[in-house]
Amino acid sequence: MLYINIQNMFFSRARDLTGITDASLEVSPGTTSHGCLNRLISRFSCLEEIRNCMVLTLNNEYAPESAVLKDIVELDIIPPISGD
């Protein structure tokens, strides 16, 4: 079976929660970013804390959770950004 290698980058609060800056996953072709996010949360349950307010990007472009992952992809997890 073929797999797609997904490189995941964690920023700000996501990086603080996981304690790492990146992780890789192998997923089946046709997997959505939502499916990939579910796999990441099963691996890093701490991300559940920010799940409802994070933004996803695929290859540096904002993407909905319904986006289908193709080829080699970078999926970034961007938590909410707050400022004063």
| Mean pLDDT for the stretch of residues 30-50 | 93
**CATH number, residue 8:** 3.10.20.30
- Residue 70: CB atoms within 10 Å: 12
- Residue range of the domain that includes 51: 4-78
How far apart, in whole angstroms, are the C-alpha atoms of residue 62 and residue 70? 15
Q: What is the pLDDT of residues 16-38, one digit of tens each?
A: 999 999 999 999 988 999 999 99
Residue 73 tokens, joined: 């992809």
In a domain, 54, yes or no: yes
Rg (CA), the chain: 12
In a domain, 68, yes or no: yes
pTM, entire model? 0.82
In a domain, 58, yes or no: yes
Distance of CA 57 to the CA centre of its chain: 8
